[in-house]
Amino acid sequence: MRTCLKCLVMTFSLALAFSCATPKTLGYLQDLQYGQEEPAAAAPELIVQTGDQLGIHVSCENPQLAAPFNLIPETADASEVHRYSVNPDGNIDFPILGKLTVAGNTLKEVQDLLAARIRELGLIRNPIVLVTLENFTVTVIGSAGNQVMPIQGNSVNLLQVLAKSAPIDEKTRIKDVMVLRTENGERKAYSVNLQSKTLFNSPVYYLKQNDVVYFKPQGIKLDTTGQMALSFATTTLTALSIITNILLWTRYR
């Protein structure tokens, strides 16, 4: 009988240990091989959309010639630019040049358009035009936190957004991260597997303005009390099952 009790205690301890064990650590890009070269596509250029805020700065050898195109106070910081809103028709109203259609063009194409118009009017021989997207944001929701993330520069990818987000745990479906993208008045959902190198080939690996990244949960998420109750119930049922088997074995051996 003592032997049975010792076995019971040992078995119960093992069940308790396994029930409290920490889940396996999450792993990203599990199929990426060391030293193996993979094609790496450059970040696509952002396409100007309605509702965008464009920062536009014109410069040249003679600052006085460029001043009428830069609607910023003289006391402003040197890096500050005036913002131009792209209206629902896809246009901006630019000083001297008037209404210009910019939606559907890349930022580089808008730069070239402005520079060409300034040269055509004979206002500046060699204008230098810089166009930036001033309201580039990505929305993150789910287990990685809820935030509207401002993006510096004109390029950001999913891994960079993941690094800036709240830490995720084993309850997150990293094999099925959803990215919602709205373009040309249509919304489309994409699924990305962060455990596979195929994410580099996804059309949403490089994010665009107003994209929404949703880190979905695995299933029902329990609070701390619920997790403790579930762990206790599992341990108890395991122990009862073991006790029953031992008693039956002792009785009928």
- Residues 146 and 113 occupy one common structural domain: no
Instruction: Name the pTM for this structure.
Output: 0.72
pLDDT band at 56 (very low <50, low <70, confident <90, very high): very high
pLDDT at 220 over 80: no
Strands 137-142 and 212-215: parallel
- Residues 158 and 86 occupy one common structural domain: no
- Residues 101 and 152 occupy one common structural domain: no
* Percent with pLDDT over 70 in the chain: 73
Range of 18-22, 60-64, 87-91, 221-225 with top mean pLDDT: 87-91
Contacts of 70 (CB under 8 A, 6+ apart): 57, 58, 81, 82
- Residues 141 and 208 occupy one common structural domain: yes
Domain annotation covers residue 33: no
**Domains in the chain: how many in total?**
2
Chain centroid to CA 220: 23
pLDDT at 45 over 70: yes
End position of a domain, from candidates 100, 133, 166:
133
pLDDT band at 18 (very low <50, low <70, confident <90, very high): very low
- Residues 73 and 121 occupy one common structural domain: yes
- Residues 95 and 146 occupy one common structural domain: no
Domain annotation covers residue 235: no
Domain span at residue 79 reads: 53-133
Domain annotation covers residue 239: no
- Residues 124 and 193 occupy one common structural domain: no
Query: Taking a C-beta distance cutoff of 8 angstroms, is the pair 168, 95 a contact?
Result: no
The more confidently predicted of residues 242 and 150 is: 150
Tell me the three state secondary structure of residue 57: strand
- Residues 122 and 145 occupy one common structural domain: no
pLDDT band at 132 (very low <50, low <70, confident <90, very high): very high
pLDDT band at 168 (very low <50, low <70, confident <90, very high): confident
> Taking phi first (over 0 means left), then psi (-120 to 50 degrees means alpha), and beta for anything else, what does residue 196 get?
beta
Domain annotation covers residue 60: yes
Report residue 164 as tokens.
């800036």
Secondary structure of the chain in the HEC alphabet?
CHHHHHHHHHHHHHHHHHHCCCCCCCCCCCCCCCCCCCCCCCCCCCECCCCCEEEEEEECCCHHHHHHHCCCCCCCCCCCCEEEECCCCCEEEECCCEEEECCCCEHHHHHHHHHHHHHHCCCCCCCEEEEEECCCEEEEEECCCCEEEECCCCCCEHHHHHHHCCCCCCCECCCCEEEEEEECCEEEEEEECCCCHHHHHCCCCECCCCCEEEECECCCCCCHHHHHHHHHHHHHHHHHHHHHHHHHHHHHC
The more confidently predicted of residues 142 and 71 is: 142
Mean pLDDT of 73-98: 83
pLDDT band at 78 (very low <50, low <70, confident <90, very high): low
- Residues 67 and 119 occupy one common structural domain: yes
Q: What CATH number corresponds to the domain at position 185?
A: 3.10.560.10
Domain annotation covers residue 89: yes
Range of 10-14, 29-33, 178-182 with top mean pLDDT: 178-182
Domain annotation covers residue 155: yes
pLDDT band at 59 (very low <50, low <70, confident <90, very high): very high
Mean pLDDT of 53-64: 94
Q: Which amino acid is at 214?
A: Y
- Residues 124 and 194 occupy one common structural domain: no
Burial label for 54, CB within 10 Å (0-12, 13-18, 19+), is buried
Q: What CATH number corresponds to the domain at position 95?
A: 3.30.1950.10
Mean pLDDT of 39-44: 89
Range of 68-82, 107-121, 172-186, 210-224 with top mean pLDDT: 107-121
Domain annotation covers residue 39: no
End position of a domain, from candidates 88, 103, 133:
133
Mean pLDDT of the chain: 83
- Residues 99 and 153 occupy one common structural domain: no
Return the closest-CA partner of residue 208 out of 29, 49, 28. Answer: 49
Amino acid 39: pLDDT: 86
Domain annotation covers residue 38: no
